[in-house]
Amino acid sequence: MIYDENNYPLNILQDSNNILKSIKQEKDVLLACASRTPSVETARQLVYLNGWDKLFDHMEIYPNSKIVHFQTLQRKTKIPYNKMIFFDDLQWNIKEVKSLGVHSHHVPNGVHTGAFRKALKEYERFWSCI
């Protein structure tokens, strides 16, 4: 079990692990995490203890704006913002990242299969109209 800086346990949804693994199996899809946490070591520990370091192609974990995280990811990957999908439990992060043109989805209870499928359908619908 991993605890945050306030000694609260951090719970991981099983769906999250399954979703990350399924994304990683897709050809030509990059997987990244972006966290503005001030508890950088705790966040990295969470990533490594869950084996996500083997799944993420990029990790931006440092206390800064999500805008900075996504600008860095865009610069590193050369992927246009409108071809990215982002999930977050905090509405202000969604608002920030959406302003860049990233497909952003508010998941207050974490990413679960239903929310993930809905996001993919919306993404596909967006690109089928262009």
Count of domains in the chain?
1
**CATH number reported for the structural domain that contains residue 98 in this entry:** 3.40.50.1000
**What does the pLDDT look like over 88-117, one tens digit per residue?**
999 999 999 999 999 999 999 889 999 999
Q: 9 in helix, strand or coil?
A: strand
Q: What tokens appear for 20 in the block? A: 């990350």
Task: With respect to residue 3, please indicate whether it lies within any of the assigned structural domains.
Answer: no
> How much is the pLDDT for 10?
72
Q: Residue 23's domain spans which residues? A: 14-128
**What does the pLDDT look like over 12-59, one tens digit per residue?**
777 989 999 999 999 999 999 999 999 899 899 889 989 999 999 999
> How much is the pLDDT for 67?
98
Task: With respect to residue 45, please indicate whether it lies within any of the assigned structural domains.
Answer: yes
Task: With respect to residue 4, please indicate whether it lies within any of the assigned structural domains.
Answer: no
- At residue 9 the predicted structure's pLDDT band, cuts being 50, 70 and 90, is confident
- Report the C-alpha gap between 52 and 21 in whole angstroms: 9
- Report the C-alpha gap between 27 and 11 in whole angstroms: 29
**Does pTM surpass 0.85?**
yes
